[in-house]
Structure 1
Amino acid sequence: MRQPLADKIRPTNLDEVIGQEHLVSQNKILRRIIDSGLVNNMIFYGPPGVGKTTVARIIAEKSNKTLYKLNATTASLKDIDDITKNLNTFMASDGVLLYLDEIQNFNKKQQQSLLQYIEDGRITLIASTTENPYHYIYKAIISRSTVFEFKPVSNAEIKKALKRAVKICEEEYKNIKINVTEEAYDHFSASSNGDVRKAINGLELAINSTSPNSNAIIDINQEVAVDSTQNKVINYDVNGDSHYDIISAFQKSIRGSDPDAAIHYLARLIKADDLQIICRRLLVIAAEDVGLAYPMAITIVKSCVDSAMQLGFPEARIPLAEATLLLATSPKSNSAVKAIDLASQDLESKNTGDIPLHLKDAHYSGASALGRGVTYKYPHNYENSYVHQQYLPDEIKDINYYFPGKNKNENIIKEYWEKLKNS
């Protein structure tokens, strides 16, 4: 069976690992653990193709333990039972190192089946996952493990891996030279989204599908690189961690009044074809982050959202961009969300008391006999349609929930309000 190029260039020691300097460079924590030979339970978390499996293999080879590998996508409780049956045999005299790939696909019962063996040290677990372990992995396993986050690999580091792959191919082909332009290297790197394996696969396809010229040279230019790579895949799963990360970055960029970042994250959400979540989030932002600083924003955003829903993609991107830029460049106020959150907190933590009698419903016979509405003052009967009277329950009558934001619109509201109450 033909070995994929990505496997041929797989590092065999930590010095060859591409990226992840924060973990495996000299004196970093994971490097120190591996060099000590005292391997503990670990969870490797990060996107595909960034070296999680590679580092796990290097650890396994340096360990004296019996190595087992399982992929949680296809493994079952029986597979775990088959491993545990060998724990007290000569085959596992130094213990077992279990490399469990995609652990997030194990259900709670499957994960729990490993606990007793992890606790007594008969199994040392190295698990990898592309999802946030704090969301998907059983807490008892998390508490017994060290979590290491693997980052997407930079374009510069990916180019190093690509050039190493070209050298390996030339050594294998012997009489054929492979010439890859810098523009092609840049494209393979940029289109991989930090995934070394994806970049190598694109390069391998380009090499295998390009015939040598009369000088026995395989020329890989940018055009060939583009033909050999699929559309760039954004790390986005509607049920996964990246979903919430992009939405969070989208709202925080608008809240921070950065229109360029806001449009960038909007483009990511559009790439994922996630129209519903974009529309919902824009409406939330209009109320939560712009609020009373520009009250008309939510009306305009609602019109843009309705237009986007009616148009569908690709045209929906235009009103969505309009709404995003409007919100990003609008004045900001969170006074509305702060007010409702403070009021909600009081309902949970205080005895807020009964509604004042004069505010209670009086539209029925006998209401006046109960004192309902008897002393109510109808504001429109007074100058400027305002009269001072108590509206909050006695227990919280002096409390304030709304604090005007420091923006032009709320300054006007505040001035009007103070003038009215002091008149």
Structure 2
Amino acid sequence: MSDQLNLFRNGDSTHPAFAPLAERMRPRSLDEFVGQSHLTGEGKILHRLIHEGPFQSLIFWGPPGCGKTTLARLIARRGDANLVSLSAVTAGTREIRAAVDEALAAWSRSRKRTWLFMDEIHRLNKAQQDALLPHVEKGTVTLLGATTENPSFEIIRPLLSRSRVLVLEPLAPEELRAIVRRTLEDRERGLGDFPAEMDDNAWALLLEGSGGDARVALNALELAVLTTPPDSGGVRRVDGDAMREALQRSAVHYDKAGEEHFNLISALHKSLRGSDPDAGLYWLARMLEAGEDPMYIARRIVRAASEDVGLADPFALVQALSAQQAYQFLGSPEGDLALAQAVVYVALAPKSNSLYTAYKAARDTARRTGAVPVPFHLRNAPTSLMKRLGYARDYQYPHDSPEGWVPERYLPEPVGNEVFYTPKPWGWEGKWRELLEKRRRIVRGGGNRKQTARDHIEDQPVES
């Protein structure tokens, strides 16, 4: 059997002294657990499951260091259940089958139910999830999955439908503070034998830089404390510089392949649509500082310029495309400013989705009437036969009119006088709104063309 199956069993929470601080300080009971009160509070779902609820497959969805593994252990410990742990990063179908065999043996040996804890469950491919599914259906194992990715996108529907998804949140600063204080005082598992005090700057850096991740906070705390020499009184006084060195990570938390990637680009786009340049600049900076591909951001700015500004200010699209080209020419950091310029311009520009909705409506109508023939007067007539059939006959050339416009019908008869584009009354669109309405009224009152090819042939003189 794979050694991986013995990572932790039966909720064993003893840790050797050389284990990382975050592992040593893992809560041993729900009373020690900090955070996720919306799940663990009195009368909440996990509180009921741990104390009296039935066995039920669960999937914990939340960011790193928020307590997913700890809660899995606490749940499995209830009722002295057997716990088998796997990580989807290294586990395959063979390991899943071995876990199932272990579950069957545990039931046969001692009538113990088995919880299968699958860390990073979103890393299992479809075939591996399919292999796990029947054993969850039969109750051979009860699944405890942990994932940092949205289960709706990463887990097959049949497996998801047989599990309860519980959403965990990043730990709040005060929750992290409580965990750190307990760690500094705990002499058995924590840093109580290394008396330490942190100044306000160190606290601020730790709470902000860990981003709600208790594992990051405790590992940084351990490094900062142990590398700070004690003063004459034996106290290690951790300052901001020591904590900054211990963190050694950007305060910007981001996963370019995960949900946060889409959350941040969505926030940027919605800020532009909402005409908030400050928020737009903030989300732009968040993504650039986290290492996002600037061309990905540039493409979204171009999209916003077309989709949300459109013809209310045609120069928004020009600005967005210019920023994209400027970044390609300059690169970072100089090119970042070009993207910032486009963000501010698009945010301040008057907004109109008239073009966006007009094209969607026209597309729907085109799909519905795709077999309707082009009216004869709009057809191309490069040959004499086509001309005899009536192609391009009676076409009115707008440039021959003093006004540069003629009251002509350009939509086919079955489509009628359908209107797709309705300009907003502001910005560049507003200048043309009244003229467009006037022209449409004239065209609607100008009659219809209903001639066919046969009509045109009959109208032609017979050639001798």
- C-alpha distance in 1 between matches for 2:161 and 2:121: 15
1:74 partnered with 2:90: yes
**1:392 aligned to 394, 401, 411, which one?**
411
Give me the whole-angstrom Cα distance separating, in 2, the residues matched to 1:376 and 1:33.
77
Higher mean alpha-carbon deviation, 303-312 vs 343-352, is at 343-352
Of 315, 325, 331 in structure 2, the residue corresponding to residue 306 of structure 1 is: 325
2:311 to 285, 289, 292: 292
C-alpha deviations, 1:70-98, integer Å up to 9, x for none? 00101121111112224443236232110
Deviation at 1:22, TM superposition (A): 1.8
SS of 2:35's equivalent in the other structure is coil
Alignment CA distance shift 1:118-1:342 (3 Å): same
Choose which of 397, 416, 429 in structure 2 pairs with 1:410.
429
Matched length: 423
Structure 2 vs 1, CA of residues 171 and 342 (structure 1 numbering), >3 Å: closer, same or farther? closer
Secondary structure, aligned partner of 2:201: helix
Q: Distance in 2 between matches of 1:180 and 1:364?
A: 89
Structure 2: runs of 5+ lacking an equivalent: 1-15, 443-464
Q: 1:158 to 1:23 in 2, by over 3 A?
A: same
By how many angstroms is 1:365 displaced? 3.4
Aligned residues of 1:162 and 1:185 also touching (Cα < 8 A) = no
Rg larger for: 2
1:214 partner amino acid: S
What is the distance in 2 between the residues matched to 1:42 and 1:223?
42
More off after superposition, 197-206 vs 271-280: 271-280
Q: 1:377 to 1:18 in 2, by over 3 A?
A: same
Matches within 5 A, 1:15-414: 15-89=31-105, 90-91=108-109, 93-168=111-186, 176-232=194-250, 234-271=252-289, 272-350=291-369, 353-414=372-433
Pairwise CA distance, 1:37 = 3.2
CA distance in 1, matches of 2:367, 2:393: 30
Secondary structure (helix, strand or coil) at the match of 1:16 reads: coil
Following TM superposition, by how much is the alpha carbon of 1:253 offset from its aligned partner in structure 2, in angstroms? Answer: 1.1
CA distance in structure 2 between the aligned counterparts of 1:110 and 1:335, rounded to whole angstroms:
47
- The code of the aligned residue for 1:107 comes to N
Q: Given that residues 60 and 144 in structure 2 are in contact (C-alpha distance below 8 angstroms), is that contact kept between their aligned partners in structure 1?
A: yes
Report SS of the residue matched to 1:125.
strand
**Mean CA deviation greater in 377-386 or 250-259:** 377-386
Q: Distance in 2 between the 1:80 and 1:301 partners?
A: 50
**Cα distance, 1:200–1:174 mapped onto 2, change above 3 Å:** closer
Q: Is the 8 A contact 2:21 2:190 kept in 1?
A: no
Secondary structure, counterpart of 1:246 in structure 2: helix
Cα distance in 2 for residues equivalent to 1:18 and 1:256: 37
Q: CA–CA distance in 1 between the matches of 2:130 and 2:374?
A: 52
Distance in 2, matches of 1:171 and 1:41, equals: 31
| CA deviation vs aligned residue, 1:300-358 (integer Å, no higher than 9, x gap) | 22212211121111222111111101111111101111111111122334456221111
How far apart are 1:52 and its partner, in Å?
0.7
Q: Say whether the 8 Å CA contact 1:170–1:178 is kept in structure 2.
A: no
**CA contact 2:92–2:128 (8 Å) conserved in 1:** yes
TM superposition shift of 1:196: 1.3
* Alignment partners' CA distance in 2, 1:92 and 1:304: 68
TM-score by length of 2: 0.87
Which of 1, 14, 26 aligns to 1:10? It is 26
Structure 2 CA distance for partners of 1:176 and 1:303, relative to 1, 3 Å: closer
CA 1:327 to 1:15, structure 2 compared with 1: closer, same or farther past 3 Å? farther
**Structure 1 gap segments, 5+ residues each:** none
CA contact (8 A) 1:294 1:330 kept: yes
User: 1:421 and 1:172 mapped to 2: Cα distance?
Assistant: 78
Q: Distance in 1 between matches of 2:343 and 2:366?
A: 34
Percent identity, aligned pairs only, is: 35
Alignment partners' CA distance in 2, 1:313 and 1:86: 54
Output the amino acid matched with 1:79.
Answer: E
Q: Tell me, yes or no, if the aligned pair for 2:407 and 2:439 is still in contact at 8 Å.
A: no
The alpha-carbon deviation at position 374 of structure 1 amounts to 0.5
Q: Residue deviations 1:211-251, cap 9 Å, x none?
A: 11111010001121112111225343333222111111110
- Mapped to 2, the partners of 1:292 and 1:322 lie a distance apart of 19
RMSD: 1.9
